[in-house]
């Protein structure tokens, strides 16, 4: 076969993919540099020119990938393009809005989500009210029941056998010094927040833990209601309870509602698959739980630092009203923002259609 | 080959450009390592906080202040640290925490769109339930003695269930990933290797013209293997004897009778690779694929 070697006058055939790569290599390299810069710092580190080039280069790379997959027999080339396109995809489609605007979005999204979950919230209120009624009526009939519902640590002497005077004192005077109480409040907060999160995340046990949580909290409150009401101290007790109780009880209801949301998704997934339904519900419920944690924290701060400072009944009820107004205000801002977003979206759709 | 021996799972995402992209899912051990590292960072900051707190407490009692505020500050910041560490970093660092960044991992949304706030919250709320709370339950059960031991068992069972779940999930998702609709992927690394067909083109003075019959024996698999051999030469992992054996085998198989396989095996292999690739790619344009040497026609 010596003859084959004589044809050396013909130039060596070059694979097409070599030429293909030679033509495009520099633009891949440019994209690689931009992407590396974004990964090291952030999108905002790019200058105008780079920002302008990024999507163009990305489309070129995607194009190259699809051609290379079909025609090139160089695996390293295809692997490179796959990784490059995947990286650029994450940079272009995976980037989020800045964190600060996200937090505002969160602040607004929480009340809007709560408003859309009124059914679950209603169910939660029902269980809570049931707990209150059961404990109240049972303790009224036989004070021994009190110990079933409230443990010693929590009652701190406020039992059916305490004197009316000491009960009244417990409403108007700090049991310990203020610093001790703030520890108690922060302990209460972390504890409450955890229990609330538990109710949410165990929601996929058909919402049963959520129902138990609500019922149990209702029982404790009902037992106290019974004790104070029997001495004619119901109104002062409410004055003591409501300023911090409004955010706190609302948060408990929210946690329960979040749990029910998850439970319902599992029981009645409607037209979705169960995992999908659980996911949809989980996204909604997590927002509600964040709201609840926020309210727990707010209530704890309020309880720890302000409660013992204000001992006047009228002031206390005024504060309670203020709490309700604040909550309503929160819902109102959120509602407004949502309407504004909707209007902007509609406007955009109309202009796109035109 | 390399890819088939490594058992990494991947997911496919179809961007608006209409070319499917592949992402490697993070392996469970690497995710676990990232978690360990993050926990280590958290414990370290807790430790630093304790030190600072002790200093504050000593300073406070010197000035007659009360320790209560410090203690409550401590309780709340501990809570915030544990709850917000993952959330904060995944929010600010585009889906990676220090541990994840160290291991080259990243959280992405299942549908490939930007990672939503709700998804982040959901997956991190669930983390607490999956690991921290059941472990606390275990501890609580042991502390409270015999009657409460069942608490430990529940906590232990729950942890095992939560940790075992990703092993059985087809995409190794944990509970939080399922609820949040997220994947944890390996950040793709792009590295363009030298084109082995191009390096011969500048050495034009030596060419061999293979006949079409000689180039119709091997397929894509053998071509890729040859490319890997040539890359090994670059890395100085193959010596001249290996190359001689390989080129002799090839020459025998394709019935090539020149002296190059013996005199300059590397040059022969490079020229053969370029010619073979050119021939196979030419056929590919006509829709004819030859996967390996066993495939007839």
The residues that bridge with B24 in the sheet, in sequence order, are B10
Tell me which chain B residues have a C-beta less than 8 angstroms from the C-beta of A39: 187
If asked whether residues A82 and A106 sit together in one domain, one would say no
Does residue A11 lie in a domain region? no
pLDDT at B148: 67
Tell me which chain B residues have a C-beta less than 8 angstroms from the C-beta of A7: 209
Model pLDDT for residues B161-218, shown as the tens digit of each residue? 888 888 888 888 888 888 888 889 988 888 888 777 775 544 555 677 788 777 887 8
Does residue A8 lie in a domain region? no
Query: Which tokens in the block code for residue A178?
Result: 């203020």
Contact B94 A7 (CB under 8 A): no
pLDDT at B224: 87
pLDDT at A179: 47
pLDDT at A63: 93
Point out the domain boundary residue: B136, B171, B186.
Answer: B186
If asked whether residues B78 and B102 sit together in one domain, one would say yes
Residue A163 Cα, gap to closest chain B Cα (Å): 30
Closest residue of chain B to A187, computed from CA coordinates: B75
The rounded distance, in Å, linking the Cα atoms of B277 and B142 is 68
pLDDT at A40: 83
Residue in the block written with tokens 């105008």: A48
With cut-offs at 50, 70 and 90, classify the pLDDT of residue A81: very high
The rounded distance, in Å, linking the Cα atoms of B263 and A218 is 92
Closest residue of chain B to A89, computed from CA coordinates: B15
If asked whether residues B143 and B202 sit together in one domain, one would say no
Q: Which residues of A306-345 are buried (b: 16+ CB within 10 A; e: fewer)?
A: ebbeeeeeeebeebbeebeeebeebeeebeebeeeeeeee
pLDDT at A122: 94
Mean pLDDT on A313-317:
85
If asked whether residues A121 and A194 sit together in one domain, one would say yes
If asked whether residues A33 and A176 sit together in one domain, one would say no
Residue in the block written with tokens 């393009």: A81
If asked whether residues A83 and A129 sit together in one domain, one would say no
Contact A179 B68 (CB under 8 A): yes
Of A179, A189, A198, the CB nearest to B69: A179
Indicate the number of domains in chain A: 2
pLDDT at A321: 92
Model pLDDT for residues B41-84, shown as the tens digit of each residue? 988 988 888 888 777 777 666 555 555 666 667 777 777 787 78
The C-alpha angle with vertex A111 and arms to A108 and A113, in degrees rounded to 5, equals 100
**Percent of chain A, pLDDT > 90?**
22
pLDDT at A305: 66
Q: Which of A151-160, B4-13, B97-106 has the highest mean pLDDT?
A: B97-106
pLDDT at A64: 93
Contact B190 A21 (CB under 8 A): no
If asked whether residues A78 and A107 sit together in one domain, one would say no
Point out the domain boundary residue: B153, B170, B186.
Answer: B186
Phi, psi of B12 (to 5 degrees): -115, 140
Mean pLDDT on B4-33:
82
pLDDT at B2: 37
pLDDT at A153: 66
If asked whether residues A72 and A159 sit together in one domain, one would say no
With cut-offs at 50, 70 and 90, classify the pLDDT of residue A4: very low
pLDDT at B122: 85
Mean pLDDT on B219-246:
83
Model pLDDT for residues A284-295, shown as the tens digit of each residue? 888 898 899 888
If asked whether residues B33 and B78 sit together in one domain, one would say yes
Selected residue with higher pLDDT from A106 and A191: A106
Point out the domain boundary residue: B186, B213, B228.
Answer: B186
DSSP A223-253: HHHHHHHHTT-HHHHHHHHHHHHHHHHHHHH
> What is chain A's Cα-based Rg?
32
Give the closest residue to A12 by CA, choosing from B213, B255, B206, B216.
B206
If asked whether residues B229 and B89 sit together in one domain, one would say no
Of B83, B108, B278, the CB nearest to A90: B108
A3: pLDDT strictly greater than 50 = no
If asked whether residues A140 and A87 sit together in one domain, one would say no
Of B73, B94, B121, the CB nearest to A286: B121
Q: How far apart are the first and last CA of chain A?
A: 73
Tell me which chain A residues have a C-beta less than 8 angstroms from the C-beta of B234: none
Q: How far is CA B107 from CA B13, B104, B139, B170, B177, in A?
A: 14, 11, 31, 17, 9
Selected residue with higher pLDDT from B57 and B95: B95
Closest residue of chain A to B127, computed from CA coordinates: A201
If asked whether residues B148 and B287 sit together in one domain, one would say no
The range of the structural domain enclosing residue B131 comes to 2-186
Does residue A186 lie in a domain region? yes
pLDDT at B114: 81
Closest residue of chain A to B136, computed from CA coordinates: A194
Does residue A10 lie in a domain region? no
Average pLDDT, chain A: 82
Does residue A124 lie in a domain region? yes
If asked whether residues A137 and A191 sit together in one domain, one would say yes
Mean pLDDT on A223-246:
85
Tell me which of A213-227, B20-34, B117-131 is least confident: B117-131
* Preferred mutation among B190, B191, B231, B263 to probe A, highest tally of A CBs within 10 A: B190
The rounded distance, in Å, linking the Cα atoms of B163 and A148 is 36
pLDDT at A300: 79
The range of the structural domain enclosing residue A51 comes to 16-93
If asked whether residues A84 and A128 sit together in one domain, one would say no
Point out the domain boundary residue: A65, A93, A121.
Answer: A93
pLDDT at A54: 92
If asked whether residues B180 and B208 sit together in one domain, one would say no
Point out the domain boundary residue: A56, A76, A93.
Answer: A93
If asked whether residues A140 and A277 sit together in one domain, one would say yes
Contact B17 A86 (CB under 8 A): no
Does residue A169 lie in a domain region? yes
Point out the domain boundary residue: A72, A93, A114.
Answer: A93
Q: Which of A83-97, A322-336, B228-242 has the highest mean pLDDT?
A: A322-336
If asked whether residues A53 and A128 sit together in one domain, one would say no
The residues that bridge with B12 in the sheet, in sequence order, are B22
Q: Where are the beta strands (DSSP E) in chain B?
A: 10-13, 21-24, 105-109, 182-186
Query: Which tokens in the block code for residue B47?
Result: 């430790």
Tell me which chain A residues have a C-beta less than 8 angstroms from the C-beta of B281: 15-17, 71-73
Contact B71 A183 (CB under 8 A): yes
If asked whether residues B47 and B169 sit together in one domain, one would say yes
If asked whether residues B162 and B234 sit together in one domain, one would say no
Q: Is B145 left (phi over 0), alpha (psi -120 to 50) or beta?
A: left
B5: pLDDT strictly greater than 60 = no
Of B95, B129, B192, the CB nearest to A80: B192
ipTM of model over 0.90: no
Contact B79 A201 (CB under 8 A): no
If asked whether residues A115 and A51 sit together in one domain, one would say no
Tell me which chain A residues have a C-beta less than 8 angstroms from the C-beta of B181: 279, 283
If asked whether residues B176 and B218 sit together in one domain, one would say no
Tell me which chain B residues have a C-beta less than 8 angstroms from the C-beta of A198: 129, 133
With cut-offs at 50, 70 and 90, classify the pLDDT of residue A9: very low
If asked whether residues B15 and B115 sit together in one domain, one would say yes
Does residue A20 lie in a domain region? yes
The C-alpha angle with vertex A108 and arms to A102 and A112, in degrees rounded to 5, equals 130
Contact A83 B190 (CB under 8 A): yes
Indicate the number of domains in chain B: 2
Residue A181 Cα, gap to closest chain B Cα (Å): 8
Residue B36 Cα, gap to closest chain A Cα (Å): 22
Is residue A97 helix, strand or coil?
coil
Of A17, A198, A304, the CB nearest to B72: A304
With cut-offs at 50, 70 and 90, classify the pLDDT of residue A28: very high
If asked whether residues B182 and B200 sit together in one domain, one would say no
If asked whether residues B63 and B140 sit together in one domain, one would say yes
């Amino acid at each position: 076969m010596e003859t084959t070697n004589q044809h050396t006058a013909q130039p060596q055939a070059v694979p097409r993919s070599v030429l293909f790569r030679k033509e495009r290599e520099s633009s891949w390299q440019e994209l690689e540099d931009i992407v590396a810069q974004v990964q090291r710092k952030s999108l905002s580190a790019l200058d105008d020119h780079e920002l302008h080039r990024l999507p163009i280069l990305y489309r070129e790379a995607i194009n190259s990938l699809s051609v290379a997959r079909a025609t090139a027999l160089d695996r390293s080339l295809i692997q490179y393009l796959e990784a490059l396109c995947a990286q650029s995809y994450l940079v272009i489609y995976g980037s989020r809005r800045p964190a600060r605007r996200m937090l505002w979005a969160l602040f607004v999204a929480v009340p809007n989500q709560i408003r859309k979950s009124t059914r679950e919230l209603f169910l939660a209120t029902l269980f809570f009210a049931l707990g209150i009624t059961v404990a109240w009526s049972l303790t009224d009939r036989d004070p021994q029941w009190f110990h079933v519902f409230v443990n010693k640590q929590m009652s701190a002497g406020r039992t059916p056998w305490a004197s009316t005077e000491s009960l009244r004192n417990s409403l108007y005077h700090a049991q310990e010094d203020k610093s001790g109480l703030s520890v108690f409040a922060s302990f209460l907060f972390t504890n409450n927040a955890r229990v609330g999160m538990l109710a949410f995340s165990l929601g996929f046990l058909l919402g049963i833990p959520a129902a138990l949580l609500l019922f149990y909290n209702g029982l404790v409150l009902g037992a106290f209601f019974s004790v104070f009401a029997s001495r004619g101290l119901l109104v002062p007790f409410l004055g003591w309870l409501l300023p911090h109780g409004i955010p706190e009880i609302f948060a408990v209801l929210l946690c329960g509602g979040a749990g029910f949301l998850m439970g319902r998704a599992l029981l009645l997934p409607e037209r979705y698959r169960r995992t999908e339904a659980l996911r949809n519900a989980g996204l909604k419920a997590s927002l509600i739980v964040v709201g609840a944690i926020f309210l727990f924290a707010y209530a704890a701060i309020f309880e720890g630092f302000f409660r013992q400072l204000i001992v006047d009944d009228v002031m206390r009820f005024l504060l309670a009203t203020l709490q309700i107004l604040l909550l309503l205000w929160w819902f109102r801002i959120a509602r407004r923002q949502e309407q504004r977003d909707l209007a902007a979206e509609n406007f955009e759709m109309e202009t796109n259609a035109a | 080959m390399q890819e088939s021996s490594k058992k990494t799972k991947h997911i496919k995402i179809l961007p608006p450009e209409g070319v499917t992209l592949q992402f490697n899912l993070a392996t469970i051990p690497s995710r676990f390592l990232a978690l360990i590292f993050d926990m280590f960072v958290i414990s370290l900051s807790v430790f630093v906080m304790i030190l600072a707190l002790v200093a504050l407490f000593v300073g406070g009692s010197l000035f007659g202040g009360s320790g209560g505020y410090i203690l409550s500050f401590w309780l709340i910041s501990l809570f915030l640290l544990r709850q917000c560490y993952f959330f904060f970093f995944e929010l600010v660092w585009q889906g990676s925490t220090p541990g994840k960044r160290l291991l080259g991992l990243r959280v992405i949304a299942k549908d490939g769109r930007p990672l939503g706030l709700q998804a982040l919250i959901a997956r991190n709320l669930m983390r607490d339930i999956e690991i921290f709370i059941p472990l606390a339950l275990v501890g609580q059960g042991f502390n409270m003695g015999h009657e409460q031991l069942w608490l430990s068992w529940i906590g232990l069972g729950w942890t095992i269930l939560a940790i075992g779940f990703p092993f059985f999930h087809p995409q190794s998702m944990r509970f939080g990933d399922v609820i949040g609709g997220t994947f944890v992927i390996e950040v793709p690394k792009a590295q363009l290797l030298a084109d082995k067909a191009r390096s011969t083109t500048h050495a034009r003075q030596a060419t061999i013209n293979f006949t079409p019959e000689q180039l119709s024996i091997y397929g894509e698999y053998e071509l890729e293997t040859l490319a890997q051999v040539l890359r090994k030469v670059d890395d100085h992992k193959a010596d001249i004897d290996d190359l001689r054996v390989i080129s002799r085998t090839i020459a025998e198989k394709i019935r090539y009778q020149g002296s190059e396989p013996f005199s300059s095996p590397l040059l022969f292999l490079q020229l053969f690779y370029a010619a073979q690739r050119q021939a196979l790619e030419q056929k590919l344009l006509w829709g004819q694929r030859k996967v390996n040497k066993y495939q007839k026609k």
